[in-house]
């Protein structure tokens, strides 16, 4: 595998985005290479987070960096949100699978997460603020929940043309592939 491997982003409404991701069972070099390539793809796409279904893989993997600082890269394997807590806040979210589409999404401020690192060690921690929001957004991807599902009807209406264009582009690409 080359140092510069990156993935193509899977865009809405690709069916893989609606699938349940499966648990990772092998914590090996292949997993670490996938995670590195996901980080490269996320950075290249200027995202703050990326989940494996967004690069076509039904695996419970997410990568994120909520600050853009080098030391803040975080990969979560088999993440589970144990609880969500705190005040519900409204914040504008985008998604690499929905280019150019944004919506104000409500989420609880805090979440407690259990996950494994790329060596298989288990961690548990409570997150708040933007970091918690990114985790909740990426975790949604692992269970087939998308930005469009959590958008208000006003935001859906505002983004109607852009959403229709994505569906149109997907159908055209699918037709081309036969």
Enumerate the active-site residues. Answer: 138
Shortest reach from residue 175's CB to Ni ion, in Å: 26
Q: Which is nearer to Ni ion, 95 or 113 (CB)?
A: 95
Shortest reach from residue 137's CB to Ni ion, in Å: 6
Q: Which is nearer to Ni ion, 77 or 142 (CB)?
A: 142
CA dihedral over 26, 29, 30, 34, signed as positive or negative: positive
Q: Which is nearer to Ni ion, 112 or 150 (CB)?
A: 150
Q: Is 142 in the site for Ni ion (CB under 5 A)?
A: no
| β-pair type (74-93, 103-116) | antiparallel
Shortest reach from residue 115's CB to Ni ion, in Å: 18
Fill in the per-residue mask, 67 to 106: x = in contact with Ni ion (CB under 5 A), - = not in contact.
Answer: ----------------------------x-----------
Q: Which is nearer to Ni ion, 27 or 145 (CB)?
A: 145
Cβ within 8 Å of residue 62, ≥6 positions away: 49, 50, 51, 52, 75, 76, 79, 135, 138, 139, 141, 142
Question: Quick check: bond before 13 cis, omega within 30?
Answer: yes
Distance separating alpha carbons of residues 58 and 74, to the nearest angstrom: 19
| 3-state SS track over 98-124 | CCCCCEEEEEEEEEEEEEECCCCCEEE
Query: Which residue has the closest beta carbon to Ni ion?
Result: 95
Shortest reach from residue 134's CB to Ni ion, in Å: 9
- Per CB under 5 A, residues contacting Ni ion are 95
């Amino acid at each position: 595998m080359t140092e510069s491997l990156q993935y193509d982003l899977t865009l809405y409404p690709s069916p893989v985005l609606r699938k349940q991701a499966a648990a990772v069972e092998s914590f090996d070099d292949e997993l670490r290479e996938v995670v590195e390539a996901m980080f490269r793809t996320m950075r290249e796409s200027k995202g703050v987070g990326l989940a494996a279904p967004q690069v076509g893989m039904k695996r419970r993997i997410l990568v994120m960096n909520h600050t853009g600082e080098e030391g803040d890269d975080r990969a979560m394997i088999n993440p589970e949100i144990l609880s969500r807590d705190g005040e519900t806040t409204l914040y504008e979210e985008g998604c690499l699978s929905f280019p150019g589409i944004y919506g104000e999404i409500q989420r609880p401020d805090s979440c407690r997460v259990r996950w494994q690192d790329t060596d298989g060690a288990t961690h548990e921690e409570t997150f708040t603020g933007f970091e918690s929001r990114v985790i909740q957004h990426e975790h949604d991807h692992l269970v087939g929940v998308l930005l469009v599902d959590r958008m208000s009807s006003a935001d859906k209406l505002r983004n109607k043309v852009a959403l229709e264009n994505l569906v149109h582009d997907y159908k055209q690409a699918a037709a081309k592939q036969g």
